[in-house]
Amino acid sequence: QVQLQESGPGLVKPSETLSLTCTVSGGSISNNYWNWIRQPPGKGLEWIGYMYYSGSTNYNPSLKSRVTISVDTSKNQFSLKLNSVTAADTAVYYCARTPYGGSYMDVWGKGTTVTVSS
């Protein structure tokens, strides 16, 4: 059974870069799409972007200028970088899988909280 685990710093300073990693266990990172989704405190979910294991990506237009998602197939991991962060980027960040040929998220990580503050 595939499991996802987010990891990374819980505190990032304003204007710096938020970096998170999602480790895929119990299955291969190949042949699936891998998403990042976030949830600010007390608010709803927001899709950030996804990457196909081969490296192709697509991002939410509202974040596109600041987001990079990359994959390391040798480690079965994919990563999120969000630059020039502000307090508005404070959120719980989730990674999630979209199965190949699917149009939904079927496996979710538990989420990791990132706070942007000096």
Does 105 participate in binding another protein (rule CB under 8 A)? yes
Candidate residues 12, 33, 78, 90; the one interacting with another protein per rule CB under 8 A:
33
Using DSSP bridges, classify how beta strands 77-82 and 57-59 pair: parallel, antiparallel or unpaired.
unpaired
Does 69 participate in binding another protein (rule CB under 8 A)? no
- 39's tokens: 């949830």
Give the whole-angstrom CA distance, residue 40 versus residue 49: 16
Region binding another protein by CB under 8 A among candidate stretches 9-17, 22-30, 41-49, 78-86: 41-49
Does 36 participate in binding another protein (rule CB under 8 A)? no
Q: Tell me the residue length of the chain.
A: 118
Region binding another protein by CB under 8 A among candidate stretches 15-23, 71-79, 81-89, 97-105: 97-105
Does 53 participate in binding another protein (rule CB under 8 A)? no
Binding site for another protein (CB under 8 A): 33, 35, 37, 44-47, 50, 58, 60, 94, 96, 102-106, 108-111
